Chains A and B, each alone.
Chain A
Amino acid sequence: MRLLDWIVLLGTLGFIVSYGVWKTRGSKDIEGYLKGDNSMKWWTIGLSIMATQASAITFLSTPGQAYEDGMRFVQFYFGLPIAMVIISITVIPIFYRLKVYTAYEYLESRFDLKTRSLAALLFLIQRGLAAGITIYAPAIILSTILGWNLTLTNLFIGILVIVYTVSGGTKAVSVTQKQQMAVMMGGMLVAGFMVVHYLPESVSFGDAIAVAGKMGKMNVVDFSFDWNDRYNFWSGMTGGLFLALSYFGTDQSQVARYLGGKSVGESRLGLLFNGLLKIPMQFIILFIGVMVFVFYQFNQPPLFFNEAAKDKVYATDFGPEMQALEEQHTALFNQKQEAMHGLVAALRTDNETAIASAQAKVQGITDASKEVRNETKALIAKATPDAETKDTDYVFISFVMKYLPAGLVGLLLAVIFSAAMSSTASELNALASTTVIDIYKRSVKKDKDNFHYLRASKLFTAAWGTLAIIFATYASMLDNLIQAVNIIGSIFYGTILGIFLVAFYVKYIKGHAVFIAALLAEAVVLYCHFYTDIAFLWFNVIGCMAVVVFGAILQLFMGEKEKETA
Chain B
Amino acid sequence: MKETDNKPTQELDKPPFFKSWKSMYWLVLGNLAFLITLFYIITRIYS
Residue numbers of A with Cβ under 8 A of B are 71, 74, 78, 81-82, 84-85, 88-89, 93, 96-100, 105, 108-109, 209-210, 212-214, 218-223, 233, 263-266, 268-269, 272, 275-276, 279-280, 283
Contact = CB atoms under 8 A, between A and B. Distances in A.
B19 to A, nearest CB: 13
Given A109-B1, A218-B43, A272 B32 contact: no
A221 to B, nearest CB: 5
B28 A272 contact: yes
Contact of A105 (B1, B2, B40): B1
B25 A220 contact: no
8 contacts: A89-B25, A98-B3, A100-B1, A214-B46, A220-B40, A275-B32, A276-B27, A276-B31
B32 A82 contact: yes
Contacts of A109: 1-3
Interface string B34-47: 01100110110111
Nearest to B21: A268
A71 B31 CA distance: 19
A88 B10 CA distance: 13
Given A85-B29, A276-B31, 10 more contacts: A74-B39, A81-B32, A89-B25, A97-B11, A109-B1, A213-B47, A218-B46, A264-B9, A264-B13, A279-B32
A96 B9 contact: yes
B1 to A, nearest CB: 5
Contacts of A279: 32, 35
Contacts of B3: 97-98, 109
A93 B36 contact: no
Given A97-B3, A219-B47, A269 B32 contact: no
B9 to A, nearest CB: 5
Interface of B: 1-3, 6, 9-11, 13-16, 21, 24-25, 27-29, 31-32, 35-36, 39-40, 42-43, 45-47
A93 B43 contact: no
B15 to A, nearest CB: 6
B43 to A, nearest CB: 5
B12 to A, nearest CB: 8
Contact of B13 (A71, A214, A263): A263
A307 to B, nearest CB: 32
Contacts of B15: 265, 268-269
Contacts of B11: 93, 96-97, 264
A407 B31 CA distance: 36
Contacts of A78: 32, 36
A216 B33 CA distance: 24
Contacts of B2: 109
A261 B43 CA distance: 39
Contacts of B40: 220-221, 223
B23 to A, nearest CB: 11
A82 B33 CA distance: 11
Contacts of B10: 96, 263-265
Main secondary structure of the interface of A (DSSP, over half): helix
Contact of A85 (B6, B25, B39): B25
A86 B12 CA distance: 17
A210 B46 contact: yes
A222 B1 CA distance: 48
Across chains A and B, which 6 residue pairs bring their CB atoms closest together, nearest first?
A213-B46, A265-B13, A218-B46, A220-B39, A263-B10, A81-B32
Contact of B9 (A97, A212, A266): A97
Contacts of A269: 15-16, 24
A547 B46 CA distance: 45
Contacts of B36: 78, 221, 233
B42 to A, nearest CB: 5
A64 to B, nearest CB: 21
Contacts of A97: 3, 6, 9, 11
Given A93-B11, A97-B9, A221-B40, A81 B47 contact: no
Contacts of A218: 42-43, 46-47
Given A85-B29, A88-B25, A108 B13 contact: no
Contact of B14 (A96, A265, A275, A276): A265
Contacts of B43: 218-222
A560 B42 CA distance: 58
Given A93-B11, A263-B10, A263-B13, A82 B46 contact: no
Contacts of A100: 1
Contacts of A212: 46
A123 B46 CA distance: 44
A93 B16 CA distance: 18
Nearest to B9: A96
Contacts of B16: 269
A259 to B, nearest CB: 13
A272 B1 contact: no
B5 to A, nearest CB: 9
Contacts of A272: 24-25, 27-28
Contacts of A264: 9-11, 13
B6 A98 contact: yes
Contacts of A221: 36, 39-40, 43
Nearest to B28: A275
Most chain B beta-carbon contacts within 10 A, residue among A212, A213, A218, A221? A221
Contacts of A209: 46
A222 B11 CA distance: 39
Contacts of B14: 265
Nearest to A96: B9
B16 to A, nearest CB: 7
